[in-house]
Structure 1
Amino acid sequence: MKSESVVIIGAGIIGLKVALVLAERGYGSQTTIIAEHLPGDTSINYTSPWAGANFSALSASDKNALRWDQLGYKHLLKLAAQDGKNAFVRETPSTEYWDEMPSRTKLDSMASYLKDVTTVQRDSSAGPTRGCCNKFTTVTLNAPMHVHYVLRRLRQQYGVRVIRKKVLSVTSGFLSKDTKVVFNCTGNAARNLQGVEDPKCYPTRGQILLAKAPHINQNVMRHGKDYETYIIPRPHSKGNVILGGYMQKGVDLPDTLGDETESILSRTKAMLPELESSETEILAAFAGMRPSREGGARVASEVVQVDESERKGLVVHDYGAGGTGFQAGYGMGS
């Protein structure tokens, strides 16, 4: 089969993990990735390098989300154990606070596969830890270095071809008559991509701080109705930590704001007082646009007309993961 038998549009974490799943199943040399932005690029339209990133209980409670999470967690645990340093992935102790109890379905699902998991329900007088507290072993990732690692493996180990090109329509993914299937992993761009134009897509803006805090070796998060606060160590980064954050639905402002920086510092220090230390140094602020979608991620296939000759082709849509791409991407591609 030709190298363009399978084409993936997009080289964010979703596109890369779809390519990895296909490569592991023997399709690497038949796969081509087409993307405007690749690992190593800096753009407000290329979200993956700005991610926290970790495995969190943040995701939805529907059947698909629960399945994707479980597959993703097992994949990341295996990666941490077998190639953690090269993959920039590491097991990390985690505490997650919820202002409101998650659904029983979600709690039961997490309890069935998370390592060292305990869940404690807390009363309303517990201040910032009211509602629910989960403790478990999470997996943290150094996002910009991890996407580099995945792309390098795809190219060197599996022979995946990569083309830098902006794609304006989903049918442009059919590079030749040999292209059998196109995976649409375009994230926020799916809203305007010709042939897709999904009105349910929207950006969710986040602002984060990159800090040097080598004494912080735990993951801590607090989930509220309209906010997220988190502390995520970046593995194999000589002590860098991500502090966040914001979940601003429908906002696409690329700027970083000083008052948001102050809010992040205030919230994270209140949650983990150890940050108030002479060892903590704020290095930079960044903003990113999570690729969100009303109703959750779209993972579905459809047959489309490729050209005027009435040639038909298969498109598999895989986008809209919001802030869960690093934890669910492998499961979404499986």
Structure 2
Amino acid sequence: MSVSTPIVVVGAGIIGLDVALVLARQGLGRSVTIVAEYLPGDTAVEYTSPWAGCNFSAISGRDANALKWDRACYSHLTKLASENPKESFVVRTPSTEFWDEDVPHDKIKAMSEYLEDFVILPKEELPEGVSFGVSFTTVTINAPKHLQYLQKMLKEQYGVQFVRQKIPNLQSVFEANPAAKIVFNCIGNAARTMPGVQDYKCYPTRGQVILVRAPHVRRNIMRHGKDYETYVIPRPESNGNVILGGYMQKGNGDGATYSHENQSILERTTELSTELRSAEPEILASFAGLRPSREGGARVEREEISIGGGEKRVVVHNYGAGGTGYQAGYGMALEAVQSVEDLLQAIGKSQNGRAKL
């Protein structure tokens, strides 16, 4: 591994890229190397981020951390949608969400404080079987293209380095790079098995989606049921492509796709979306992805570890966002970076002659 920077981010999914972006915006881009087995543009069942739908929704947790991360990330994403939608592949999209039974009123109240155009729908406008609904302006994201946008920006504008390398454990990053002072651990599903981490609270949550061409679909719509999730997400800057889903299968690590699940997705989404019913979509492909989930929610935590000779180094764990990496990732990154502000100030001084934070 050819790395000699004081900051290393392990993992090049949306979580790792968002950490690098926060660091870069604080003047530390040339002090950062991202090390990952898979990089933007790659596809692998173990590389979750490219398979995401993806949008900003009420699907995330109700705990204080999730609420805080979502709010920060909505601000970040809507700013991208305002300033640079075509290049970032992030756009504002009208959205409707329905709940059959378990309505997260506390979460909805918190989101109503910052979501644009937020409205609680009257009962007479709700489909049969739905107990509650809201409309608002969401952001939808072309996941694989957004990852590539972030990589290009980080490299060309901020000087972040990228190294393709599968690492055996976090200690090996410090051993291969004596200059490293901080490692950000953004390894997603690998957190369950990687030596030195082995977080058994982690588990995959399988999803299956269908990619269709349906340029007449312009609205994001979701229905949260007792044992299912149904969603229609138009994909920005994709020649009219739309993501149809889906499944939330806790503990299922199967990366295959199944025809009976495709049939269920088509039936549910067609029933849900009047736009989708107006013209038959062209089916392009189906995919399965494994959301990197964690009991109790995502972990953002600073830890000291021992390397060769008992020397101490700092790791910041940042993983376990499940299906909310795109909508919580920037908020998680802000907190992860804040946890090592003392060390980053020293790095900034040594790299640039003065602190950048």
* TMscore range, shorter length: over 0.9
Deviation per CA, 1:12-44, whole angstroms, max 9, x where unpaired?
Answer: 110011110111111110000000001111100
| Partner of residue 237, structure 2 | 236
Q: Secondary structure at the match of 1:328?
A: helix
| Partner of residue 192, structure 2 | 191
Quote how far apart the aligned CAs of 1:159 are: 0.4
Give, as a single letter, the amino acid of the residue that structure 2 aligns with 1:321. Answer: A
Give, as a single letter, the amino acid of the residue that structure 2 aligns with 1:159. Answer: G
Is the Cα–Cα contact under 8 Å of residues 3 and 161 in structure 1 kept in the other structure?
no
Is the Cα–Cα contact under 8 Å of residues 89 and 141 in structure 1 kept in the other structure?
yes
Q: Secondary structure at the match of 2:267?
A: helix
Quote how far apart the aligned CAs of 1:280 are: 1.4
Distance 1:121 1:167 in 2: 53
| Partner of residue 53, structure 1 | 54
Deviation per CA, 1:190-247, whole angstroms, max 9, x where unpaired?
Answer: 0011100000110000000000000000000011222110000000111000000000
| Partner of residue 166, structure 1 | 166
Quote how far apart the aligned CAs of 1:271 are: 0.2
Distance 1:205 1:121 in 2: 33
| Partner of residue 136, structure 1 | 136
Q: Secondary structure at the match of 2:158?
A: coil
Quote how far apart the aligned CAs of 1:277 are: 4.4
TM-score, normalization: structure 2?
0.90
| Partner of residue 268, structure 1 | 269
Give, as a single letter, the amino acid of the residue that structure 1 aligns with 2:251. Answer: G
Q: After the TM superposition, which residues 301-320 of structure 1 pair with which residues of structure 2 at under 5 Å, given as runs?
A: 301-307=302-308, 309-320=309-320
| Partner of residue 88, structure 1 | 89
Quote how far apart the aligned CAs of 1:273 are: 3.1
Question: For structure 2, which runs of at least 5 residues remain unmatched after alignment?
Answer: 335-357
Q: Secondary structure at the match of 1:167?
A: coil
Choose between structure 1 and 2: higher helix proportion: 2
| Partner of residue 178, structure 1 | 179
Deviates more, 1:24-33 or 1:276-285: 276-285
**1:39 corresponds to 2:40:** yes
Q: Secondary structure at the match of 1:157?
A: helix
C-alpha change, 1:170 and 1:180, in structure 2 (3 Å) is same
Distance 1:90 1:39 in 2: 20
Sequence identity percentage: 56
Give, as a single letter, the amino acid of the residue that structure 1 aligns with 2:197. Answer: V
Quote how far apart the aligned CAs of 1:101 are: 4.7
Is the Cα–Cα contact under 8 Å of residues 98 and 133 in structure 1 kept in the other structure?
yes
| Partner of residue 220, structure 1 | 221
Deviation per CA, 1:145-173, whole angstroms, max 9, x where unpaired?
Answer: 00000011111110001110001101122
Is the Cα–Cα contact under 8 Å of residues 119 and 134 in structure 1 kept in the other structure?
yes
| Partner of residue 22, structure 1 | 23
Is the Cα–Cα contact under 8 Å of residues 5 and 180 in structure 1 kept in the other structure?
yes
Give, as a single letter, the amino acid of the residue that structure 2 aligns with 1:86. Answer: E
| Partner of residue 13, structure 2 | 12
Is the Cα–Cα contact under 8 Å of residues 121 and 131 in structure 1 kept in the other structure?
no
Cα RMSD, aligned residues only: 1.5
Quote how far apart the aligned CAs of 1:276 are: 2.8
Is the Cα–Cα contact under 8 Å of residues 188 and 291 in structure 1 kept in the other structure?
yes
Quote how far apart the aligned CAs of 1:283 are: 0.5
Give, as a single letter, the amino acid of the residue that structure 1 aligns with 2:152. Answer: R
Q: Secondary structure at the match of 1:283?
A: strand
Is the Cα–Cα contact under 8 Å of residues 4 and 177 in structure 2 kept in the other structure?
no
Distance 1:15 1:126 in 2: 39
Is the Cα–Cα contact under 8 Å of residues 57 and 138 in structure 2 kept in the other structure?
yes
| Partner of residue 71, structure 1 | 72
| Partner of residue 324, structure 2 | 324
| Partner of residue 354, structure 2 | none
Is the Cα–Cα contact under 8 Å of residues 212 and 279 in structure 1 kept in the other structure?
no
Question: For structure 1, which runs of at least 5 residues remain unmatched after alignment?
Answer: none
Give, as a single letter, the amino acid of the residue that structure 1 aligns with 2:191. Answer: A
Is the Cα–Cα contact under 8 Å of residues 11 and 36 in structure 2 kept in the other structure?
yes
The number of residues matched between the two structures is: 330
| Partner of residue 255, structure 2 | 254
Distance 1:273 1:84 in 2: 26
| Partner of residue 346, structure 2 | none
Is the Cα–Cα contact under 8 Å of residues 55 and 139 in structure 1 kept in the other structure?
yes
| Partner of residue 156, structure 1 | 156
Deviation per CA, 1:54-86, whole angstroms, max 9, x where unpaired?
Answer: 101111111110000000000000001111100
Quote how far apart the aligned CAs of 1:132 are: 1.2
